[in-house]
Structures are given as structure tokens and as C-alpha cells.
Structure 1
Amino acid sequence: MSPGVFNFSRLDPIEDSFFRISRWILGLLQCWPLDRLNRITKIKLVLHLTILLTAALGEIRSSWLLRKSLLEAIDALSPGVTKLVTWIKLVCFLIYRKDLELILNSLLEHCKTDTKDSRKNYLIRKISYFNNMCCSVLYINAITTSVSFGFKPIVVWAYQYFVNEKRNTWVDLPYKAALPYEDMTEMNKPMYSFMYCFLAYSGLVTTFAVSGTDGTFLCFCMYISVAYQCLQEDFKSTFRVHAANDPKRSKILYNDLSALIRRQQKIIEIFNSFNRVYTFMIFIHFVSASILLALLSINLLLASGVFKTIYLLYVLGITNHLFACCFGAESVNKNCLKLSEVVYFCDWYNCDRKVKKLILFALVKLQKGSPMKAPFFSPSLQLFASIIQTTISYFTILQTVL
């Protein structure tokens, strides 16, 4: 994609705006399901996964070695957990690459069909613009956090060197990682330079992977949501065009409604396929985010100065990603239930028996909603509020104790 990837607007055709930001981000990591994998891209992908996993294990190992110092241990553990979870998400994208390719192509074709109508085209372009804006925010938030971690050691060293005049202070690494030594101060200058670049790059890979995978989830949910909105318009216009109590047009009405219900079934099939692919990723994302919010609450209380600002950015990033996932899942379920209301309040009761049975079939499917399912919970705004409320409660208790 061209450097003007962020120069998007509501006038962009669906082919350009479809998952625009997520496609660009994951394309840089060679993980976008619709891109071809050749020998070079496979090598790059393996390299990114190796860097990410090595950094994650090194940081988790460092947290264990620093367990006697609570602040330093958590400082090492939090980024390590994020990188490990991100690595798992990328591996899941590879495992389900073919499934995601089929799902995304089916969704794109469905959206192209809807754009033929001016009203539905407006809705889709509006959602595409919204998706790209949200993905841009997720990316900027993630890259800001990564850059802050990368420059943190330099800022601390400059402060110690010029303000406190401590000439022999150790310039720390962007992340606390026991690679390859338990005591990283034993490294010589070439090894230190390599490790600094290695860890900083692992942070950038994490940034792209997290914002790309979570952005894909949000975009998919919003496109399914707008597909339900387009179906609402279709049902309204169908009953408006064909008089429900006109026997001569009953067959035409039945055929049009049958076509709409087939499209409804297609949307449900796409949604269920995507839910199956993302089930485990949703689970580990919410579990890890809950743990990280608890750990970072301790960091925020114990840290001072520039460190507190960095952890605040970290918390903001985790919160934004959680909200994006919950908002997307809530939008799908909300518009599915809204479609059932639209169908119910149409003049189907004046139709013949065949049409009534067809509407009844549609209502049975729609009234169940389309909740995004994961083990033990379903993402929703209510779940997001519960997580934030619990985090604030823990933060208040820790503030009293510490």
C-alpha cells in the first residue's frame, strides 16, 4: 500500500477502504491473509516471530530473576506477557490463514453487492471511514507506547549524565530482558548495541501485530454490523414496494424475502466462521489484558517521573484495545437484534401463510442475536465496564496498602 495509507476519506471505494489500516499494518509483518506468501515473505515472517518469542521469553525470565524487587519484576513481566500473547495471535493468524482468506473474501463480496444501492453504499462508506479512524487511533497509541519504552533509557541516562553528573551510569535497555546474561551489565559495547536494537525492534513488531490483529477484529465486527443495517433497509423497502395484502404480488414478495433471508444466513455463516477463528485469541486477549491492568496498577503507584507517564500510556493502550473489541462485538449483537425488531414490525401479518412462515423462520434466527463467543464470557460493553470497575477497585485498594 502507498505511503498515503492514512489519507482516507468517505469517498474511497470499498476495494480501497476495506480493512485499509489493518491490511497495511499486517502486510508489513507478512501476516495479511489475502497477501501471497513467497520464500522471502516466509523468511521475514519467521524472523518476526522468532524475535518476538525470544524477547518475550527473555523478559519473562528476567522478571523471575528480579522477583525480589517487585517494581523491577513487574516492569519486566508486563511487556513480556504482551509480547507472548501477541506472538500467539500471529501464530493463530498463520494457522487459520486459509479460513481468514475465505471469510474476508466472502465479506468483501457481500459489501460490494450492498454498495450498488445508494443508501447502503453510504452506510458502508461511513463504517469504512469509522474503521480506519479507530484502527489509526489503536496504531498511534501502540506506537507511542513502544517509542516511549525505546527512548526511556536514553532519557534516564541523559538526566543522570547532565543533571546529576553521574558519568559512569549504566544505560539500561528498552525492556528488562535476561538475554543472554542474567546480569545484562556484563555485555560489551557491540553486544549492548545489538541487544538494544533487538529489543526495540521487538517492541515495534508487537505494536504492529497488536494493532493489526485487534484492528482486524474491530473492522470485521463493524462490517458485519453494517451488513445487518443494510438488511434492515432491504426488509423495509421490500414491504414498502410490495403490498402485503395484495395476492397478485404475494409470490414476488415471497421470492424477494427468500433472497433476503439467504443473505441473512450468509451473514450469520461468515460471522460464525470468524468467531470460530477468533475464539482463542479473544480469550487470551481479555485474560492477559485483565492481568496486565492489575500489574500496571502497581507500576503506576510505585513508579515516578517519566516512568509513570509511560505506564499511563501502556494502560491507555490496553484499555483502548479492550474497548474496541467490546464495542465491535456489542455492535454486531445490537444490530442483529435491531434487525429482528425491523422484521417484526413489518406488515408480515397481512401476508399469506408461506410468507408468514418465512418471516417466522427469520425471527427465530435473529432473536438469538449474534454474540461473539469465547470460553467463559462474551465480549460486550458490560464486560468492559466490569473489567474497568474491578481494575479501579484494585487500584484503590493498592493505593491504600502501598
Structure 2
Amino acid sequence: MTKPGPLSDLTIIDLSRVLAGPYATMVLSDLGARVIKVERPDGGDDSRHIGPFKAEGVPESAYFASINRGKQSIALNLKDAGDRAIFEALLARADVLVENYRPGVMASLGFGWEALHARYPKLIYAAASGFGHTGPDSQKAAYDMVVQAMGGIMSVTGWPGGPPTRVGTSVGDITAGLFTVIGILSALHERGKTGVGAFVDVAMLDCQIAILENAVARYAVTGVSPGPLGARHPSITPFAAYACQGGHIVIAAGNDGLWQAMLDALDLGMFKDDPRFASNSARSDHADAVAHVIESRLADAPPSHWLPLLDAAGVPCGPLHNIQQALDYPQTRARNMAIHAAYPDGTPLLAAGNPVKISGHGDPVTRPGAPSLDADRAAILKELGL
């Protein structure tokens, strides 16, 4: 018998909107937490009005529905005395408050960290903002595009000599959402020992710096800011997308043994003693020559010919999928990573699943849908006795 999610004893009050905060609370919801989404009465979360929409002229956002599945919604005006009382009643029962307003907004409403910590000492307050609650840019407005640019990730994305290129998914928001979850779970662990809540301060810009990994290491060693390299890795070769007949495949031969195995699989044994390719460092210095050798061979056949040979040799490789192919891929389906959620009106919606699989807990293929604005007001007020 499967148990409810491991966070099923937690109640999250979600004041966030658009992506960073809602992504964090979606992860918590997928892991079993109850998430009560507090929205503005005049239109709710901004993402309710961001496409793509279910159909032309139908105001049901697939963007909103995919990130806010399984949550409840209540619309509150935090400047209204009656709604403030409802919000306070929610906080009194909550474990975590998540918000992504600009620093100072919640304090101006009387709901900043210091005020709430005094009234609800066990409450964990998580704030995901563009630049954090300290520093000279703390009041600066931010969206994903802004922090991708300022955090350096756009400077290493794209092709040499090409225009500035945004990463194709909102990594500024999503990484902030994931780090917010990590912060919340860490604060919950500490509260289990101390009985006291904490303030979790996550900045989108900080998160972009945190994921630069190899680029920071290269700068630290050389003193030179790295630039874009297209699809290849800066210090592992071969580790890129290579053209073959009718398409591309990715080959990631990350050590000398895998290089030798790749040469055998592709019948390129004549290059085993080539000094240009004697080590990973040498191959990285001659990355263009490596690509020429590989692609000259791959040009003889399509991906369906080469991938089984490389797989059989134990060489990390894969096809270059578009989104449809990635979602339809048998491994994706086997891992329940293409699930069904629903629009607020109940219409089914294909969505990405939960990548965290925990033994003993369910991972349903169908998840509860996203809420209509204020859909759960009556039930929540009844529960609160208001």
C-alpha cells in the first residue's frame, strides 16, 4: 500500500506568482504538501493571463495550469481588514509561507519576516526574489531574462560569434524555485530540532551564479571569462552533438577508456595512436579535428545505425530529441515523466512529472488540476471557522 507524499503533514501558504515561487510550491505539492495559493482578487496570479492558452479565445492558461496543479486557491486583498484576518488565520495553521514580492512589500503590509516571526515563531518564511533581501540591487525588478543576462549564463550560451542567447527554458526562475525548496526543507529539518522557524532568502541572480560550475572554474584558473562554445563541452572531448546522415547524435566520451571504446564502435581504430587524441586534454585542444574524424564516419549512416553500436560499447550517447520525442520516449514514459494534470475547468493537460521518486510513496500518472481563482474560499473559511 502506497503512502501519501512524504510532505503530506505540511501546509504551505503560497503568496507567489508567475514562476519561481509557484515552481517551488509545485514541487512541494507533488511531494504531498497541501498548498493554499493566496491570489489577488483582481485577476489572480499573473500567469493565469500568460499563454499558451487552451484554445483561441478561451482564457485557460496551460502555463498556469501546468505549474499550479494540485493547489487550492483563495483570493485575498491584504489591504482589507477582513481578508487580513483570514490570512492571519491561515498563517496560524501553516508550516511555511512562500512569497516572491520585491523586498519590503510584505513588510509594508505588516507581514514581513520580523513581524510574522514574532507572532508565529514556528513559521518558515521563504522569499524568492530577483536579487535577494540584501545588497545594492535588492530593490531592482527582475525577470528570468534579466538574471540570465546578469548572472553570466548567457555569455556562455550559444555559438561563438553569435548574438546573446537565452537558455531555452526559464532557468533563472526554475533554479530559484529549486533552491527555495532546498532552503525550505533545510529550515524544516532545523525546526524539528529547535522548534523555531527561519527566514529563507533566495535570489534568482545568486542561483545563476551558483550553477555556472565549469565556467567559474575556468575563470579562476585562467583569469579569462569563457565564451560560448555551441554544443560542445569546454574541457571534455568528444562531448557534443555530431552530424550524421539525416540528423545529429550526442556522444559524451568522458574519459580515455570511453574514447577507445568509441573508436572501436565506429571502426576508427586507426586513430588510437594519433598523438592529437592521446588524452582528454589533447583531444580538447584539437576538438575541431575530433569532430571532423567523428562526423566523417557518421556521415555514412543515420542515427538509428550508430546509436545501437555506441550503446553496445557502453559509450554514453543519445538521439537529439525535440519536445514531442522527449515526452514520447519510452524511458520518459516508464519513469512517469509525462503525466496528466488539468486546467481549472477540468480539461486534461499533458504536463511534466515529478522527477523525485521515493520508495513507499505513490507517483500517480494523473495529478489534481489547477484551481480556478478563489475556488476553495468557502471550504477554507469553513475549515477556519470563519
Q: One fold, TM greater than 0.5?
A: no
TM-score, reference length from structure 1: 0.22
Q: Which has the higher helix share?
A: 1
Q: Which has the higher strand share?
A: 2
